[in-house]
Amino acid sequence: MKKVVKTDKAPGAIGPYSQGVDLGNIIFFSGQIPLNPKTGEMPEGIEAQTRQSLENVKGLLESQGLSFADVVKTTVFLDNMDDFATVNGIYAEYFVEPYPARSAVEVAKLPKGALIEVEVIVSKS
């Protein structure tokens, strides 16, 4: 049975979608742009935006009693692939071995002018 994930630990949906969908043993979380869930503000620069996006992912995970160790797949959307090394260094602060599978792609534009968006898929063991 499909259950919708809803929490104030991450920004609310800015369109017709859910923060996540729980299928029982797998949760698909929507991509997280770097909006502060308390203020709705977006920090400046790729470093701060990467941290805020990952903190938003952390909020989603914690709302379901999970952690980054439960993530099996991530997708990182970047406004500029030249930021990959910076993002990768910060990403490594949040994820530990065994690392999840990951895709990273440069896109033409992200919602609200964000420089990064991160989505994750989680396996509940």
Write out pLDDT tens, residues 71-124.
Answer: 999 999 999 999 999 999 999 999 989 999 999 999 999 999 999 999 999 999
Of the chain, the percentage scoring pLDDT greater than 70 comes to 100
Instruction: Give helix 46-63 / helix 84-94 axis angle, nearest 10°.
Output: 30
- Residues spanned by the domain of 29: 3-123
Q: How many domains does the chain have?
A: 1
Cβ-Cβ contacts under 8 Å for 63 (sequence gap 6 or more): 5, 7, 9, 10
Do 50 and 34 contact (CB within 8 A), yes or no?
yes
CATH of the domain at 27: 3.30.1330.40
Say how far apart CA 121 and CA 101 lie, in whole Å: 10
Tell whether the model's pLDDT for residue 125 goes beyond 80: no
**How high is the mean pLDDT of the chain?**
96
Strand ranges, E, within the chain: 3-5, 20-22, 26-29, 71-78, 101-106, 116-123
Q: What pairing do the DSSP bridges indicate for beta strands 71-78 and 101-106?
A: parallel
